[in-house]
């Protein structure tokens, strides 16, 4: 099947408006006869469910948690971008569009990104109307801050808990619709497969996680909003339950999977401390607004610090290597995530890591505390303030800005970040790859949509800070509700979709057979054993830096782990009860397939782009010497994989990316 | 360190539960409490026993999913944290640790340490929202100026993660800190004013219907709240309710 992105004709700034003016609409009376299933109720799914219900459709929403409020969108800290130009610093729709395309290393779809920038301002208005308590300045107006990869202040925030507040906004909108009976909410349910009738998505098979019961649910369209697959690495900043099952199952039923190798490695995570570690914790990127990143200049100091003979605060300015400020003077500590992550890894690989594992750099707030302290002393008319006074005043400002993050760090590491620099290291965070969708956010299966992190379209090979929340809400509140109507306008006479059909019978049998296999397999090893093994191969060979040899080895190794998994996995308990091991087994089975496709995709992409450093593709001279080398001539495409059984047999389809409004050029943050 | 764990095991909501003893060894002080539980579960799976079911997800203290009652305290010893943020450095070699589900009539046990907190959902559905259309045709956000003080206070209330520690820790199993936080958030913001009276009446009515007890100002909820939600929110809720009833 040829890929048709369905991007509307015309100038980029008019595409979305013209499109909306020409789509088919569904009469309000007919919306009452149409059912939509939304799987996943984070920012994208929650906002979509609420809006579709508001429009009048009957929505069935599914969450694997006890409440939509637990979705991992809740953990997003820093903020949400919007081209409001409230600060008057030159922001515009075009500039947000430009920054996002450039930040994504020119591997996203121009028309989608422009639309995202266009609706961004609306998102803020919507959320404020819902009572989201964004930070305000003393005049009562909205406050903004700046994020990596941009030169304007366009990030709206609610302390370090922006994701939480935006999610609770969407959740409250959902609650209003649940109360009205327009959303039927299925908590503690997991979608285990999609059902197609005559080629169209017409329902899902779900498992009630409390009783173990397998249920059939039908609808005229199905929306997948289940987030990313970063847990393929086992250790990531994702919640423990974040999984790829829904996205992977629809891939196996015909939805192409795009750019699986695009995974964001976030630069500011708390480093790993031991083998027992279950997950990694992110510290908001907003910390880089005020924190300075460094490692010691001299190896002697590195060793002294690791052995506890010296403290980081013993080192003078001259003895520190502020490597981001040194290498990228224009952006300094605010370079995009991929650049900051790679630079940290480069220093640690060179032996300058400052903790026991050698995988940590410092994020230091001493300069910020001093700077703010002196500023405050001036404001408060304190002449010749003592160093203690400056520290006290400065600390109060830093605490007001990042207090909860500092507290979180101290709880985990048991060190006070006001007194000593934080230690950070890159970790897997967000997946830019995902299910391929066209401009309508529809997958290659008619009637099957995919929104938010679960799809691929807007972030390219790298995601700028504060843009994930933006995409989730844009898709859910403002894009899908229009585009899905165009499709559903053909369904007004279809009537209720029956579930007692052979199509539902077949898929339900597949789902039940798999569950029966797990609970009856007399294996010897736990699910986590396999997940950790997969994670190690992924991080070592398909992580931030990759090469052809390693990727080929990874594909072989992952296949071997998968084969062992199906022989040796052990799942205690039964199918007809709450069984958390059974839930994990199904999810890890999917990761074991996705991981191999991930490596295959990385193997094909013989270029460095975004956070994905292909060791064979590096700038050899000039100002950019040593930096990642992108290859637009051969790789300015989206790789969309068609399922053909084994992941290694997947067939590649290319969506060539066209850049008509932005010139493709090397990213430089020098 | 080596520890003895006394854990509540209960097959499902109808079964009779009991405390069961387990031993774990070689626990590092750097582990989180849930990582220690992972170690136990790995041990149980390897011996073919069913692992202990417990709720957890983000492991960053924000999703509100984890809900253990440890040594008689919601989320265990240490202040201002959820169970996932509790670290083993709070315990000593040889300790016996008692682990139970959150206890409240309105939170029935589903399995082992997992309880059903749907009562909170129904309270939110009774009015924990602002009735605005999600169409995007709203006025410009800066057309609703909000004083920094009010915005900050609303944010403090809105920080509630709905974990239920307040209920679990209250001798009356009262949900007033949780409900008070949501009522306060909207009471402090101009957007929430139009339906303020109905909101507080409906939410409080639902809270009573769910079987939560009343507040007797003991303040245990505030002490145990991982997000430091203040008792002031309960006072504000009571004022709002009184205002609504006049």
Domain ranges of chain A: 268-427, 508-635
What CATH code is carried by the domain that includes residue B123? 1.10.1060.10
* Chain A neighbors of B135, CB-CB under 8 A: 51, 54
Beta-carbon contacts of A143 under 8 Å, excluding residues fewer than 6 positions away, are A134, A135, A136, A137, A156, A157
Nearest CA in chain A to B199: A176
When CB atoms are compared, the residue of B50, B59, B114 closest to A573 is: B50
Residue A195: pLDDT band with limits 50, 70, 90: very high
B154 within some domain: yes
Domain at A268-427, CATH from 3.90.700.10, 3.40.309.10, 3.20.20.140, 3.40.50.720: 3.90.700.10
Cα A663 to the chain's mean position, in Å? 26
CATH topology for the A508-635 domain: Methane Monooxygenase Hydroxylase; Chain G, domain 1 (1.20.58)
Same domain, B125 and B44: no
pLDDT at residue number A624: 85
% residues pLDDT > 90 (chain B): 97
Taking one residue from A and the other from B, the number of pairs with CB-CB distance under 8 angstroms is: 219
Find out whether A35 and A58 touch, Cβ atoms under 8 Å: yes
The answer to whether the CB atoms of B125 and A126 lie below 8 A apart is no
Q: Indicate if the pLDDT at residue A187 is higher than 90.
A: yes
pLDDT at residue number A486: 96
Residue A157: pLDDT band with limits 50, 70, 90: very high
Same domain, B91 and B75: yes
* Chain A neighbors of B50, CB-CB under 8 A: 572-573, 581
The answer to whether the CB atoms of A276 and B38 lie below 8 A apart is yes
B138 within some domain: no
% residues pLDDT > 90 (chain A): 88
pLDDT at residue number A158: 94
From A172's Cα to the closest Cα of chain B, the distance in A is 5
Same domain, B103 and B20: yes
- Mutation target among B30, B51, B63 for the A interface, most CBs of A within 10 A: B63
Lowest mean pLDDT of A163-167, A354-358, B155-159, B241-245, name the range: A354-358
Which of A154, A337, A342, A587 is catalytic? The answer is: A337
Instruction: Identify the three-state secondary structure at position A399.
Output: helix
Question: A346 or A515, which is more confident?
Answer: A515
Nearest CA in chain B to A578: B111
Residues A461 and A568: their CA atoms lie apart, in Å, by: 36
- Using one digit for the tens of pLDDT, what is the confidence trace for A358-408? 999 999 999 999 999 999 999 999 999 999 999 999 999 999 888 888 988
The answer to whether the CB atoms of A577 and B12 lie below 8 A apart is yes
pLDDT at residue number B189: 97
Q: What is the number of H-type helices and E-type strands within chain B?
A: 8, 7
Q: Indicate if the pLDDT at residue A465 is higher than 90.
A: no
* Chain B neighbors of A124, CB-CB under 8 A: 141
Phi/psi for A113 (5° steps) reads: -70, -40
Lowest mean pLDDT of A44-48, A149-153, A587-591, B78-82, name the range: A149-153
Question: What secondary structure does DSSP assign to A26-87, as a single string?
Answer: --HHHHTT-EEEEE--SHHHHHHHHHHHHHT-EEEEE-SSSSGGGSGGGG--S-EE----TT
The answer to whether the CB atoms of B134 and A125 lie below 8 A apart is no
Same domain, B151 and B81: no
B18 DSSP 8-state letter = E
From A45, A73, A44, select the one nearest A59 (Cα to Cα): A45
- Using one digit for the tens of pLDDT, what is the confidence trace for B172-212? 999 999 999 999 999 999 999 999 999 999 999 999 999 99
- Using one digit for the tens of pLDDT, what is the confidence trace for B92-151? 999 999 999 999 999 999 999 999 999 999 999 999 999 999 877 899 999 999 999 999
- Using one digit for the tens of pLDDT, what is the confidence trace for A436-450? 999 999 999 999 999
The answer to whether the CB atoms of A578 and B110 lie below 8 A apart is yes
Q: How many domains does chain B have?
A: 2
B184 within some domain: yes
Beta-carbon contacts of A88 under 8 Å, excluding residues fewer than 6 positions away, are none
From B144's Cα to the closest Cα of chain A, the distance in A is 8
Same domain, B104 and B209: no
Q: Which domain holds residue B124?
A: 117-133+143-245
A69 is catalytic: no
Find out whether A193 and A222 touch, Cβ atoms under 8 Å: no
A294 DSSP 8-state letter = E
Q: Hey, is the C-beta of A158 within 8 angstroms of any chain B C-beta?
A: yes
When CB atoms are compared, the residue of A133, A276, A282 closest to B189 is: A133
Residue the block writes with tokens 């990596």: A148
Same domain, B172 and B214: yes
A415 DSSP 8-state letter = S
- Quote the ipTM score: 0.98
Q: Hey, is the C-beta of A126 within 8 angstroms of any chain B C-beta?
A: yes
Same domain, B161 and B73: no
Instruction: Identify the three-state secondary structure at position A187.
Output: coil
Give the mean pLDDT of chain A.
95
pLDDT at residue number A350: 95
Q: Indicate if the pLDDT at residue A666 is higher than 80.
A: no
Same domain, B124 and B238: yes
- Quick one: three-class SS letters along A193-259? EEEEECCEEEEEEEEECCCCCEEEEECCEEEECCCCCHHHHCCCCCCCCCCCHHHHHHHHCCCCEEC
The answer to whether the CB atoms of B42 and A159 lie below 8 A apart is no
Average pLDDT over residues A11-26: 96
When CB atoms are compared, the residue of B39, B59, B161 closest to A240 is: B59
Q: Hey, is the C-beta of A430 within 8 angstroms of any chain B C-beta?
A: no
Average pLDDT over residues B223-245: 97
The tokens describing A236, both together, are: 């990531």
Same domain, B154 and B62: no
The answer to whether the CB atoms of A126 and B134 lie below 8 A apart is yes
From B223's Cα to the closest Cα of chain A, the distance in A is 17
Q: Hey, is the C-beta of A88 within 8 angstroms of any chain B C-beta?
A: no
Beta-carbon contacts of A58 under 8 Å, excluding residues fewer than 6 positions away, are A32, A34, A35, A36, A182, A184
Q: Hey, is the C-beta of A273 within 8 angstroms of any chain B C-beta?
A: yes
From B83's Cα to the closest Cα of chain A, the distance in A is 12
From A191's Cα to the closest Cα of chain B, the distance in A is 18
Give the mean pLDDT of chain B.
96
The answer to whether the CB atoms of A129 and B132 lie below 8 A apart is yes
pLDDT at residue number B7: 98
- Mutation target among B11, B39, B134 for the A interface, most CBs of A within 10 A: B134
pLDDT at residue number A594: 98
Question: What secondary structure does DSSP assign to A591-645, as a single string?
Answer: HHHHHHHHHHHHHH--S-BTTBEETT-B--SSTTTTSB---HHHH-EEEEEEP-S
Residues A618 and A620: their CA atoms lie apart, in Å, by: 6
Average pLDDT over residues B223-229: 97
Average pLDDT over residues A601-619: 94
Residue A626: pLDDT band with limits 50, 70, 90: confident
Same domain, B122 and B240: yes
Cα A28 to the chain's mean position, in Å? 35
From B47's Cα to the closest Cα of chain A, the distance in A is 9
Residue the block writes with tokens 């173990």: A212
Same domain, B26 and B104: yes
Q: Indicate if the pLDDT at residue A77 is higher than 90.
A: no
Residues A188 and A210: their CA atoms lie apart, in Å, by: 7
Residue A289: pLDDT band with limits 50, 70, 90: confident
Q: Where are the beta strands (DSSP E) in A421-481?
A: 422-431, 434-435, 448-450
Report pTM: 0.95
Nearest CA in chain B to A156: B141
Nearest CA in chain A to B40: A276
Same domain, B19 and B67: yes
């Amino acid at each position: 099947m040829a890929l048709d992105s369905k991007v509307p004709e015309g100038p980029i700034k008019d595409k979305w408006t013209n499109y909306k003016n020409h789509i088919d609409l569904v009469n309000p009376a007919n919306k009452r006869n149409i059912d939509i299933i939304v799987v996943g109720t984070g920012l994208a799914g929650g906002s979509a469910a609420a809006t579709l219900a508001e429009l009048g459709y009957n929505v069935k929403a599914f969450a694997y948690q006890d409440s939509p409020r637990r979705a991992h969108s809740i953990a997003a800290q820093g903020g949400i971008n919007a081209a409001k130009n409230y600060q008057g610093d030159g922001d515009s729709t075009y500039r947000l569009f430009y920054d996002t395309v450039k930040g994504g290393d020119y591997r996203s779809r121009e028309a989608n990104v422009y639309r995202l920038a266009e609706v961004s301002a609306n998102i803020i208005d919507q959320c404020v109307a819902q009572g989201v308590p964004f930070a305000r300045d003393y005049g009562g107006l909205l406050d903004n801050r700046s994020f990596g990869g941009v030169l304007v202040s366009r990030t709206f925030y609610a302390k370090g808990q922006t994701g939480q507040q935006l999610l609770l906004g969407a959740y409250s909108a959902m609650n209003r619709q649940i109360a009205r009976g327009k959303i039927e909410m299925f908590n503690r349910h997991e979608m285990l497969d999609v059902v197609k009738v005559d080629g169209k998505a017409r329902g899902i098979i779900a498992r009630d996680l409390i009783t173990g019961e397998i249920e059939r649910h039908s609808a005229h369209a199905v929306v997948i909003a289940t987030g990313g697959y970063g847990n393929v690495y086992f250790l990531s900043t994702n919640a423990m339950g974040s999984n790829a099952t829904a996205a992977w199952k629809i891939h196996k039923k015909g939805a192409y999977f795009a750019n699986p190798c695009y995974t964001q490695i976030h630069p500011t995570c708390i480093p790993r401390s031991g083998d027992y570690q279950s997950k990694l914790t992110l510290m908001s990127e907003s910390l880089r607004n005020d924190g300075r990143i460094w490692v010691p200049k001299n190896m002697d100091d590195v060793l002294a610090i690791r052995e506890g003979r010296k403290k980081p605060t013993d080192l003078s300015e001259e003895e520190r290597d502020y490597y981001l400020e040194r290498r990228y003077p224009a952006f300094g500590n605010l370079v995009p995530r991929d650049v900051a992550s790679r630079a940290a890894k480069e220093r640690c690989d060179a032996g300058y890591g400052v903790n026991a594992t050698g995988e940590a750099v410092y994020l230091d707030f001493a300069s910020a505390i001093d700077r703010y302290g002196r500023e405050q002393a001036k404001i408060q008319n304190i002449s010749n303030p003592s160093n203690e006074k400056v520290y006290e005043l400065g600390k109060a400002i830093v605490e007001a800005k990042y207090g909860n993050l500092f507290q979180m760090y101290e709880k985990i590491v048991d060190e006070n970040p006001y007194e000593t620099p934080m230690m950070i290291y890159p970790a897997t965070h967000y997946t830019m790859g995902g299910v391929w969708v066209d401009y309508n956010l529809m997958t290659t299966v008619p009637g099957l949509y995919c929104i938010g992190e679960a799809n691929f379209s807007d972030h390219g090979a790298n995601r700028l800070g504060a843009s994930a929340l933006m995409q989730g809400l844009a898709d859910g509140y403002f894009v899908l509700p229009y585009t899905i109507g165009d499709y559903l306008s053909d369904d007004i006479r279809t009537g209720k979709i029956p579930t007692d059909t052979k199509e539902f019978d077949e898929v339900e049998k597949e789902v039940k057979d798999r569950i029966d296999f797990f609970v009856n397999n007399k294996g010897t090893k736990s699910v986590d054993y396999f997940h950790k093994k997969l994670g190690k191969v992924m991080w070592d060979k398909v992580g931030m830096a990759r090469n052809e040899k390693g990727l080929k080895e990874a594909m072989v190794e992952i296949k071997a782990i998968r084969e062992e998994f199906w022989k040796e996995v052990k799942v205690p308990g039964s199918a007809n009860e709450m069984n958390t091991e059974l839930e994990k087994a199904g999810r890890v089975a999917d990761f074991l397939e996705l991981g191999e496709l991930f490596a295959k995709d990385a193997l094909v992409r013989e270029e460095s782009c975004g956070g994905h450093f292909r060791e064979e593709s590096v700038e050899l001279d000039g100002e950019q010497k040593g930096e990642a080398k992108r290859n637009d001539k051969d790789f300015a495409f989206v790789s969309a994989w068609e399922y053909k059984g084994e992941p290694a047999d997947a067939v590649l389809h290319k969506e060539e990316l066209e850049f008509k409004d932005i010139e493709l050029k090397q990213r430089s943050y020098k | 360190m080596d520890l003895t764990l006394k854990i509540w095991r209960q097959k499902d909501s109808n079964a009779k539960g009991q405390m069961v003893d387990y031993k774990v060894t070689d626990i590092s002080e750097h582990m989180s409490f849930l990582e220690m539980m992972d170690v136990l579960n790995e041990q149980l799976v390897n011996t073919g026993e069913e692992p202990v079911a417990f709720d957890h997800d983000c492991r960053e203290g924000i999703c509100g999913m984890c809900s253990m009652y440890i040594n008689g305290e919601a989320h265990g010893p240490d202040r201002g944290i959820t169970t996932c943020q509790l670290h083993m450095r709070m315990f000593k070699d040889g300790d016996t640790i008692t682990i139970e589900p959150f206890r409240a009539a309105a939170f029935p046990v589903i399995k082992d340490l997992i309880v059903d907190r749907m009562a909170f959902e129904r309270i939110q559905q009774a009015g924990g929202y602002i009735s605005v259309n999600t169409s995007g045709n709203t006025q410009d956000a800066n057309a609703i100026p909000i004083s920094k003080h009010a915005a900050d206070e609303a944010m403090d209330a809105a920080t509630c993660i709905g974990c239920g520690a307040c209920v679990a820790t209250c001798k009356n199993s009262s949900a007033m800190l949780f409900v008070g936080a949501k009522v306060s958030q909207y009471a402090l913001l101009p957007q929430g004013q139009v339906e303020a009276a109905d909101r507080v009446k409906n939410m409080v009515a639902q809270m009573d219907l769910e079987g939560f007890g009343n507040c007797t100002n003991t303040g245990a909820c505030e002490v145990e709240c991982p997000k430091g939600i203040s008792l002031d929110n309960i006072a504000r809720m009571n004022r709002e309710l009184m205002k609504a009833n006049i």
